Chain A
Amino acid sequence: MKTFLSIRNCLILFLLGVAFAVPAARADIFLVSLNTANSVEEFSANGTDLGPFANFTTGNLTQPQGLALDASGNLYVSNALGNTVQKFTLAGVNLGVFASENLNNPQQLVFDGSGNLYVPNYFGASVQKYSAAGNFSGQLKLGTAGWSAVFDASGNLYVSEPSANRVEEFSSGFDLGPFVSGGNLSRPLGLIFDPSGNLLVANNNSNQIEKYSPTGTDLGNLGIANLSQPTGMTYDSAGNLYVCSSGNNQIH
């Protein structure tokens, strides 16, 4: 159990961006998937573009969308156009295709505490599940297209469905129904839990990040200026939130 929790905390830290210990002296770098540039770009702690971590030439990237790290520090990138998930070492070595079976415009990526990778399909209205070895091991059915998936501290999975303005909740593979639906949701894409367990949702159409309590109460938006069509989000090790602003090609 202890090992499970440790791995889980690690995954939450790196995949969901929830910061637990926040030593101020640590620096972070950032990897950002640039969908129309066919690259994963590396940025320094002060926002300097350090160049591509991988691109179409070096990593077979075609409209890269989701990014995730496994417990061993390997990077996974979903190719929305290529219908694959590519695997890289953090040293930049391309380890090839990790998964391709049943992928249809794969979006964001997330690992569970056991090392299984979950991949929402934008086409096909489902979330695909792959073992740590990359073998397809089942899927969760969605009503509409899926975009982002995140786990809460209890291991429940939340999936954004942008065309339905809905965030669906799953527990151990069972569909619990909508966690939130309608209201201020406006083409919800990126999902992330804040350190307090509130769910942040990137509203792609209303250009804001909406915050929901663990019980689904709308706590309002974060009021971030100059966001344009927000997509993915992460926390750094100091607990700062970063948001991809796809409409104006910025990170906030």
Chain B
Amino acid sequence: MFANTGTDSSPASIIAIASPNLTTSPTDQTVLQGDSTTFTSAASGIVLQYQWQFDGANLTDGGNISGSNTTTLQISNTTPDDDGNYTVVVTNIAGLATATAVLTVTPVIPPMIDQRPHVTSHSYTDSVTISVEASGTDLTYEWQLNGANLTDGDGISGANSPTLTISDPTSSDAGNYTVVVSNSNGSVTSSAAPLTVQKTGVTIGTPKAKESIILTASTKFKNSSSVTYQWLRNGNPVKNTGTRIKGATTPKLTIQPAIQADSGTYALRVTNSVGITTGPGLVIIVP
């Protein structure tokens, strides 16, 4: 016997109502902070009610929570505070079924400039690089010149990378370079790195005598303490050789006595913290 129904009750009909049966249980989720996520469940049974819980407490719709009384719970714009256990409780008149899954929200560290942009020059080349060092999660970069976004092409590369490269800079490339570093948790704009481009401004003197070559640069540069000089002959650096060739890395090059092999096109490359400039070539023929 299963049950007594009471004196003179005459049971006539019976139906069974089963408690809910979860056919789909929510699965653990890991999302980046700021992303949205869903927990999905499904159950069989009759007249089912759904209630989602967070760490054991009933959830209600509002804020970043929706679907708290449906099969699917949605959590938008997640934060680390949303980390925890999510339980679906399915009930009907006969009982309940539950299942729990874990949400892990990976924090997005906001971007931070660790080292402000600085111009890195390579001697004897015509390209300029400007680099920034930043930290944070999933960073994106946007280089700007005087506040306007740069795009790759036409001598520019790396416009969306930590290092911007400007090939063969011209006067139009001069200005203040900044970089905007962003992720889903914010953005930060760097301080400006000024770039001065001087293609002209170096003059080279005329040889004083046939027996010697003395070339003098008259240009003055800002931050003269950081200026370096290199004389070039036919595009190649001139090297000091004992007492005959002196000042190859100074504004004044002295070659004395000159020999026929010294013939060529002379130029002076000047480099400082914001750029490189090369003076016009001067053809010298030593008979």
A interface residues with partner B (beta carbon < 8 Å): 14-15, 17, 21, 23, 26-37, 39, 41, 43, 45, 47-49, 64-69, 72-73, 89-91, 108-109, 190, 226, 231-237, 242-246, 249-252
Contact = CB atoms under 8 A, between A and B. Distances in A.
A236 B1 contact: no
11 contacts: A28-B94, A31-B17, A33-B12, A34-B12, A49-B3, A66-B13, A89-B47, A234-B14, A237-B18, A249-B10, A250-B11
B16 interface: yes
A252 B2 CA distance: 5
Q: Which 5 residue pairs are nearest across A and B when measured between Cβ atoms?
A: A73-B47, A232-B13, A47-B3, A237-B18, A244-B11
A29 B46 CA distance: 12
A17 B4 CA distance: 21
Given A30-B15, A69-B15, A244-B5, 10 more contacts: A14-B17, A27-B95, A29-B94, A30-B3, A32-B14, A66-B13, A90-B17, A234-B16, A249-B8, A251-B2
A36 B8 contact: yes
Interface in B1-35: 1-21
A249 B21 contact: no
Interface residues of B, number: 29
Contact of A242 (B2, B6, B10): B2
Interface string B88-118: 0000111101000000000000000000000
Nearest to A250: B1
A19 B250 CA distance: 98
Contacts of B17: 14, 28-31, 69, 90
A91 B18 CA distance: 15
Contact of B18 (A28, A232, A249, A251): A28
Interface string B120-159: 0000000000000000000000000000000000000000
Nearest to B7: A249
Interface string B157-176: 00000000000000000000
A90 B49 CA distance: 12
Contacts of A251: 1-5, 11, 14
Contacts of A90: 17, 46-47, 92-93
B9 A37 contact: yes
